[in-house]
Structure 1
């Protein structure tokens, strides 16, 4: 290459960098709009703001991001700084906000309750579809602004540490598919109303929810249900909880025709076993594949409710049992007679493939349940056993020896205890 050609090439290179040639172009600035938005959506809110220095055309792009996420993965400043930053971002925002997350900051409501009201008003006017808010500082519940119920495009709603008052004219979230409520204050009737008016609801999580006596889930399209229920103190004293009446299992789960996965933890089973427990529910869970329950084998009614759930789930494939300490020893009827009665009623777990049991203390009632499952699960592959550390090695070895003697309907069944197969 001649010196002249080298100079021309060098001149072209300089002009490309400094923007003084017709050959000049800016790869970052000239990206298509949809690609720019896709890049920004994959960045944290902090990095999206920093991207404004990439070029002149990117200076204000962060002001139109439709997803605003201020969660635990975000740099966590002090509480007031969080509020100030959110206020500043919303004040310059242009266009819709489809997703808003402000979680895990435990904000003090006495200092920022009014700010959150303003956030809710802003979101209700900018097409919010996915909303996550809370929890707040311990012992604080944000009184949800009524404008929430005008956010009719919501598809996902996740609220923690909130007090909700449903307006009489509320007709439901017609697009809501996923609802999660944690440590929420609202009445049983209002909770039922909220769920029943979300006709497309597919997943429902109720965590640390305090219920009284009756509760019904009317959600015919529900696929996944997670309940972690707590009782109000007055509920335990109510005579209804002792006997009589239609079982809460029937009342609560009467319309769950398409449920595929169910988690019943904390005091949920104690709530569901209220009333006269049937051998099998009137409508079986034909689509239920995965079931996780917290059970006290010392409480006969919880055990009855557990068997009712198993008999009502003919296509169950995965079962998890978390053993709790509630209740007293099963003396009436005698333990042996009780378990024989369960076997006579029949419960063939024809599709059960995996079982996991945690919190085992080496009790006879626990061994009886394991015996029952092994004898009635012809395609069982793995049963995982987690024995509590508080029992002695002698007790543990005796329990394992007793398990080795149990009959297994499945020739492929393996029992795993803390990583060991037997």
Structure 2
């Protein structure tokens, strides 16, 4: 072989090695430098590289990574500088045991708070501190030191933040003192949703962009809250729960956008003074004495809860027409009615939806007269939907019998607008049978009647309740034997006294009992 032919062969090999396919072959032979994953093959360590990221603009990568859950984004940041850079300027930060992949039962409370604090601190100290739009911290374990919380909030509360949700545990009954200066130094001017739980909050001014304010178990006085509200004119929703230091809640007339007011379990609250002109939705518990006549004339929807058995339905019928005469929707949750519904002249001229839920609180042996609810229906001339839910462990009322033929009737009380009626937790109390029969006979526009002998989580579903197709399923909650016995008596009363009275134009839905969970043993 001549020297020229050898040279031509070597040149041909160099050309192959310089080609794309040749470079890939050479890389497989020699291995590529700077690779991350190592594997052993035949006693030699082979190394393989991660594929390079596509060349996309950084904004597109950021948009993709910002949509990932925080835990996935943090894992991605461990394998790529591009991903890590995106993590450091992530605008939506949500920290909880779930988002950080922690299991408190596995590691214990003390170990859990240490791991939780270290992980959050590691992310927050490396965060750029710019572009944070939402910051959520929810932790209900052991005490987190205030120095950590202050440092995290100092990074999170920056110009441009829109939502702040913050909930941490107390320490020996002492609440964390929220650093209000961070909010009111100009960094919080863009915040729209502020949700604080289990902390002391002493605002010094208002927040011009704030639309939703939720305070739960927060130490704040009525004057401090008033200072915040008077200077937060964009506020649309205010929710207070377990804020016991508030004695007087004053809603100033400057809150033109305030539409929804929610107040629960503020034990120190004595009075609500509402001058905000457009409050139309109110959710609250407690007595009507907190509401001043003339302050709630524009309210169209009211949801009220009574957990102390103060005959909420009775007092609502007697007082609400004067306090909120323009109601269109009324939901009442009473844990014990000691007084029957009165017959009065005052009426709800605009009420279209009425829900009454009666619990099984301490009524001191009083047997509630369900038939007296006719007076409530009679006070609602345009009522269209009526639902009565009875949640009780026993029936104290007189039960109807097969020989009982005398039924109270009020033919002069007509309800021409009622279209849909639901009675959930139907029992064989004579007064409940009388109420149902009265509605059938006097609701001339009635289209649908739904009856369920048990009130539970499935009561609002379809007419049938059966677990025959799923032998591992159970009704939740499983009622007691006494409740099951009353349910069967309720179904008997429906078949004996109700079904035959329902006109053919009315659709009757009688929900069956569960063939497995509601058997009489």
Partner of 1:159: 196
Alignment coverage as a number of residue pairs: 367
Partner of 1:4: none
Separation (CA, whole Å) in 2 of partners of 1:190 and 1:207: 16
Q: Structure 2: state its 5+ residue gaps.
A: 1-18, 33-50, 104-111, 400-426, 464-508, 511-521
Q: Secondary structure at the match of 2:428?
A: helix
Question: Do 2:261 and 2:279's aligned partners in 1 also have CA atoms closer than 8 Å?
Answer: no
More helix by share: 1
Separation (CA, whole Å) in 1 of partners of 2:57 and 2:398: 70
Mapping for residues 85-234 of structure 1, pairs under 5 Å: 85-94=119-128, 95-109=130-144, 112-125=145-158, 127-137=160-170, 139-147=173-181, 148-150=183-185, 151-167=188-204, 170=205, 172-211=206-245, 213-218=247-252, 219-232=255-268
Separation (CA, whole Å) in 1 of partners of 2:336 and 2:448: 28
Q: CA-atom RMSD, angstroms?
A: 3.7
Q: Secondary structure at the match of 1:320?
A: strand
Q: Secondary structure at the match of 1:65?
A: coil
Superimposed CA distance per residue, residues 101-157 of structure 1 (whole angstroms, 9 cap, x where no aligned partner): 110333414xx1121112222233454321111131463411111323232221111
Partner of 1:406: 438
Q: Secondary structure at the match of 2:218?
A: coil
Separation (CA, whole Å) in 2 of partners of 1:404 and 1:33: 66
Q: Secondary structure at the match of 1:364?
A: coil
Question: Do 1:295 and 1:303's aligned partners in 2 also have CA atoms closer than 8 Å?
Answer: no
Q: Secondary structure at the match of 2:251?
A: coil
| Superposed displacement of residue 415, structure 1 | 5.1
TM-score by length of 2: 0.61
| Closer/same/farther in 2, CA of residues 29 and 180 from structure 1, 3 Å limit | farther
Superimposed CA distance per residue, residues 315-358 of structure 1 (whole angstroms, 9 cap, x where no aligned partner): 514x32211349xx45xxxx67xx122xx1122344x1452524
Partner of 1:314: 326
Separation (CA, whole Å) in 1 of partners of 2:22 and 2:209: 56
Partner of 1:373: 377
Q: Which has the higher contact order (CA 8 A, sep 6+)?
A: 1
Separation (CA, whole Å) in 2 of partners of 1:316 and 1:32: 53
Partner of 1:31: 56
Question: Do 1:381 and 1:412's aligned partners in 2 also have CA atoms closer than 8 Å?
Answer: no
Separation (CA, whole Å) in 2 of partners of 1:225 and 1:283: 11
Partner of 1:76: 102
The worse-fitting range, judged by mean Cα deviation, of 352-361 and 300-309 is 300-309
Among 379, 397, 409, the residue aligned to 2:428: 397
Mapping for residues 238-257 of structure 1, pairs under 5 Å: 248=271, 251-257=272-278
Moved over 6 A (4+): none
Among 340, 354, 366, the residue aligned to 2:343: 340
Bigger radius of gyration among the two: 2
Separation (CA, whole Å) in 2 of partners of 1:123 and 1:60: 17
